[in-house]
Structure 1
Amino acid sequence: MFSLYSSSYIKLLILIQVILIVVSRECIPRDFGKGSIVCVCNVTHCDDLKLDRMKTNEADTVTIVESTKSGKRFYLKNVSFKSAAHFKQRTHSQNYIDVTIDRTKKKQTLIGFGGSFTDSATINIKSLPQALEQRLIEDYYSENGLEYNMGRIPIGGTDFSTRAYAYNEFDGDYNLTRFALSNEDLEFKIPAVKYAEKVSKQPVLLFASSWSAPKWMKTSRNICGGTLRGKPGGRFYKIWADYNVKFLEAYRSLNITLWGMTAGNEPTQDYYINSMNFSPETQRDFLKLHLIPKLEQHGYTADKFKLMIVDTNIQHIMPFAEVVFNDSYVESYVSGIAFHWYFNRIFSLNVVTEASEKYRDKLFLSTEACAGWNKEIEEAVSLGNWTRAEAYAFDIIQVQFAIQIDLIALSNFKVLNHGAQAWVDWNLALDIDGGPSWINNTVDAPIIVNAEHGEYYKNPMFYVLGHFSKFIPRSSVRIGFEVQKSILNNAILTAFETPQNNIALVVLNPNEFDVELVVRDAKYGFFSVELLANSIQTFIWK
């Protein structure tokens, strides 16, 4: 017999947990009264997104993956192309969107999609039974899930930690001899990152972002707000560069090699969350005098490592880029521009287009997004909220791929400019209150963990992200298309050619009414389908 505390007994329990997770291709829905449903995962069932019924090797067949506000999640069906002779003229009152694919127009190449391995996210993941903990990461990074291929890792604590901390709180330790990773890294973040790398079928591109230096290095003497003490060229700027590189080296010593980093999260912040302010000028000088030389000294050369600036909201892109890139040494090393989504509905999206046109050799990555952040107008967690899912899709299509709407007789729009190459979400998983957050800065996430009940909930946002990440793999190239559509029809779309020579077309119908979609491909003819109200579809064909 097994002793209750014997290692054999514990191993048996773990084995039973693994066996109990039965692969279910169907969502187990639960309605929390927020307009749509979540899909529930526990040790007895969890829906699986491995799509073995797709027929993308048949030249005349289109596979459709559909999710809707009414409750469909990754619903699969197939249609066939028809010749132009079979096209039926639509009625005058019909709501429609007519798309013509143009493979000859090649735009930006995609790097990928991902989420952030924050303290809070990985603590929540770890709070689940081991098999379910692994399943949640697989839901994001394996081919049974969203097939994420990127990840953001905070350097030290953030507002999504259970405490305020840094890696060296010893005032006066100017040589950082007592620098050490935290328990949050060793017990939560690093195991989650390593498992994501293990289950991903492609390399996971990881990048780091710092929130705050230790408080003894700052003017505020607090983890929140303030700047580094002194000026660029001085002691504390040098120490801060050393600190960042020590983080990269510590992770590398544990067999996690980072693809890149940002120069610092939200450098324009100077208030109650973990933050540290940089002006465009101080960021430029810090990079030139301290961080870049230190990175190069340790082998993080520009050909091997991606350093990005800005890493805050889009209104700050040009003020930072114009100053930082006016130094040729810094400009030659910095790989790209990172930005967040929080004010994309307030400031003109032309900012992204202008920057991507002016700095054509730079990468453009959206590095943080979440719903429920504006406490004045919304609750943090809203389980089953379809509107938030549509906001994700709108941002990915309109902002990241910089689609400009050129209204001609209120009936059509054209893709004019290229945009960003990656879209990275914020917390991978939060608890039912949207935390933990040591300053109670709770928000929503695509997956919400209910540790007390041993289960987690996949929000509509999760599936909408999958409509992009799962079907537009790394190295896909955005292609051109022309659109005609009915008046007052807000459907939007984007199209890519994948490395497997598939076309992936993603269409969001945020309207409260159905819309007829006609897609024309000169190679095969056309196909038509009905876009259900409040739905998103991904179309894949060879």
Structure 2
Amino acid sequence: MSCNKTNKQLQVEVFETSAKGNQLTKVTNFKTTDSLVTITLKPEETFQTITGFGGAFTESSAYLLNKLSKKNRDTILQAYFAKDGARYSLTRTHMNSCDFSLSNYSYTPVAGDKNLEHFTIEEDRDDLIPMIKDAMAISDDGFKIFASPWTAAPWMKDNNSWVGGKLLPEYYDTWALFFSKYIEAYKAEGIEIWGFTVENEPHGNGNNWESMHFTPKEMTDFVQFHLGPKLEKDGYGDKIILGYDQNRAGLKEWVDEMYRDEASSKYFDGTAIHWYESTYDYFPEALQYAHNKAPNKYLIETEGCVDSEVPHWKDDAWYWKKEATDWGWDWAAEDEKYLHPKYAPVNRYARDIIGCLNNWVDGWVDWNMVLDKQGGPNWFENWCVAPIIVDPDADEVYFTPIYYTMAHFSKYIRPEAKIIGLENSDDSLMATAAQNPDGSIAVVLFNEFETPKTIHLSLLDTTVEISIDAQAIQTIVIPKM
């Protein structure tokens, strides 16, 4: 649509998801409201380059897809990866088992096998590998995959357990070889691995499911003296290594250690972060600090989900209401409980992604792509929510509002886009903008509140006036001028 109040009209397409029922719906009729917001785009101001948006291939998701009819399995994969779907461009998977696996397993089943002569990815052949391959076949543009280990096999650890403990120093070289073997094994399946996070949640997870602890120095030493050189020696020096991979409140001590000098910085390509520290605070100061410490490195949000909740089935309204609770509602220390109030799942996603993009984060990856009505399967019964929920017994699929929230970013902000500057007159309306490689601009707005707003949007010497509904996310697409 265009504005007819000026000779210089800004041509735009507007897509909206709202509590009233829009689902990435193209909007052409706009209402005048009492609340006017002025947004001025400044494409001459550029910030980070986007790596991508997406979700995770987990054994649980892949297992569920295999239980559905071919039609519904294809519908879900098309919805995530096809050109007319969410066009996911950055994805994660797990090495060895994680909590969203059916059981504990390792690619290194033989204790004491230091040279990993018995390394095998057999556990991935029934579910994970077919899901990844089918997604690859559907995606026109392709997508990057990074892999994360939750733990080494118990025999490599000081507590001989799947949960907690540390990697024994005598197995540092074996564990570095593990990453190289994984690249080779997946390459043999026709799957290219883009990179790794060194360890999922190195602080641990309360010793509940698969984990392995590293201090910042231990991880940095492992990467500098073992993993980095091993990948380099084996011809995989181009693989991305992301350090940390946990919540943002601990970022400073980690990036200070990871980038302690030129020798350690050489092997770290970036920093991975999660969002579980808070349901509303995206920690802009921590993100700014991490960027300034290593301005030419990646800063990627590698995991976030609605945790500690059984999904609400076919109840869109719940995802817009402040009724969800997270792990911190019950378990956070008293002085941190304020970070974990009841929240609306859509709000948490939209707020965090926009907040991240406005503070140098270049990639944002959701957790499981598909879960069942219980929020699993999960061997520890750590129930969570995914953007798409399925009932495999009835062969039914539910696209939650979270799916559409993710698509507002992944579909319209493409890899190699650059975040651009903007001026926003209303602090209560969140906004971010990116210019894509084809010259188009995507502006994403989030109106969390009950009041619709009129948007006066300007770019260079052109303007348009539109509106955003109450409790709505909007992507405004401006074609190349």
TM-score (norm 1): 0.79
1:533 counterpart = 2:463: no
Give the distance between the partners of 1:240 and 1:367, measured in 2 at CA. 22
Aligned amino acid, residue 440 of structure 2: N
Give the distance between the partners of 2:364 and 2:73, measured in 1 at CA. 24
Give the distance between the partners of 1:441 and 1:77, measured in 2 at CA. 39
CA deviation profile, 1:427-458 (whole Å, cap 9, x unmatched): 01001100010010110000001101111100
Contact 1:59 1:541 in 2 (8 A): no
Give the distance between the partners of 2:396 and 2:311, measured in 1 at CA. 16
Tell me the equivalent position of 1:513: 451
Task: Name which of 220, 225, 235 aligns with 1:289.
Answer: 225
Shift of 1:77: 3.0
Give the distance between the partners of 2:250 and 2:391, measured in 1 at CA. 37
Task: Name which of 127, 132, 140 aligns with 1:188.
Answer: 127
1:468 counterpart = 2:409: yes
CA deviation profile, 1:475-500 (whole Å, cap 9, x unmatched): 11111111213xxx621110111122
SS at structure 2 position matched to 1:536: strand
Aligned amino acid, residue 513 of structure 1: T
Shift of 1:317: 1.7
Deviates further, 324-333 or 200-209: 324-333
Give the distance between the partners of 1:327 and 1:479, measured in 2 at CA. 31
Residues 448-527 of structure 1: matches in 2 within 5 Å? Answer: 448-485=389-426, 490-524=428-462, 526-527=463-464
Aligned amino acid, residue 277 of structure 2: F
Give unmatched runs, 5+ long, in structure 2: 3-7, 321-343
Give the distance between the partners of 1:347 and 1:506, measured in 2 at CA. 17
Contact 1:260 1:305 in 2 (8 A): yes
Tell me the equivalent position of 2:55: 115
Residues 26-41 of structure 1: matches in 2 within 5 Å? Answer: none
Shift of 1:259: 0.8
Task: Name which of 342, 353, 362 aligns with 1:396.
Answer: 353
CA deviation profile, 1:200-219 (whole Å, cap 9, x unmatched): 11121111111101111111
SS at structure 2 position matched to 1:397: helix
Residues 354-433 of structure 1: matches in 2 within 5 Å? Answer: 354-371=289-306, 373=307, 375=308, 379-383=309-313, 384=316, 385-386=319-320, 387-402=344-359, 419-433=360-374
Tell me the equivalent position of 1:207: 146
Tell me the equivalent position of 2:378: 437
Give the distance between the partners of 2:153 and 2:88, measured in 1 at CA. 32
Residue-pair matches, total: 444
Contact 1:496 1:503 in 2 (8 A): yes
CA deviation profile, 1:478-523 (whole Å, cap 9, x unmatched): 11111213xxx62111011112211211111100121121112233
SS at structure 2 position matched to 1:167: coil
Q: What RMSD in Å do the two structures reach over aligned CA positions? A: 2.0
Tell me the equivalent position of 1:95: 35
1:271 counterpart = 2:207: yes
Shift of 1:474: 1.1
Tell me the equivalent position of 2:78: 138
Aligned amino acid, residue 389 of structure 1: V
Give the distance between the partners of 2:156 and 2:239, measured in 1 at CA. 26
CA deviation profile, 1:136-180 (whole Å, cap 9, x unmatched): 111101112100011111001000011111112322222222111
Give unmatched runs, 5+ long, in structure 1: 1-52, 81-89, 403-418
Contact 1:315 1:347 in 2 (8 A): no
Give the distance between the partners of 2:129 and 2:102, measured in 1 at CA. 17
Tell me the equivalent position of 1:156: 96
SS at structure 1 position matched to 2:171: helix
Tell me the equivalent position of 1:343: 277
Task: Name which of 13, 22, 26 aligns with 1:76.
Answer: 26
Shift of 1:60: 4.1
Task: Name which of 9, 16, 26 aligns with 1:66.
Answer: 16
Aligned amino acid, residue 492 of structure 1: M
Aligned amino acid, residue 249 of structure 2: Q
Give the distance between the partners of 1:236 and 1:147, measured in 2 at CA. 39
Give the distance between the partners of 1:198 and 1:523, measured in 2 at CA. 43
Shift of 1:119: 0.6
Give the distance between the partners of 1:500 and 1:523, measured in 2 at CA. 21
Runs of 4+ in 1 over 4 A off after TM superposition: none
Tell me the equivalent position of 1:330: 264
Task: Name which of 230, 239, 242 aligns with 1:308.
Answer: 242
Aligned amino acid, residue 490 of structure 1: S
Give the distance between the partners of 2:87 and 2:283, measured in 1 at CA. 31
SS at structure 1 position matched to 2:266: helix
CA deviation profile, 1:238-277 (whole Å, cap 9, x unmatched): 1111122211111011111111111111111161210000
Contact 2:97 2:150 in 1 (8 A): yes
Identity %: 31
SS at structure 1 position matched to 2:384: coil
CA deviation profile, 1:54-113 (whole Å, cap 9, x unmatched): 9xxx97421110111011112213479xxxxxxxxx99xx32321111111111111111
SS at structure 2 position matched to 1:187: coil
SS at structure 2 position matched to 1:61: coil
Contact 1:314 1:343 in 2 (8 A): yes
CA shift in 2, pair 1:358/1:172, >3 Å: closer
SS at structure 1 position matched to 2:141: coil
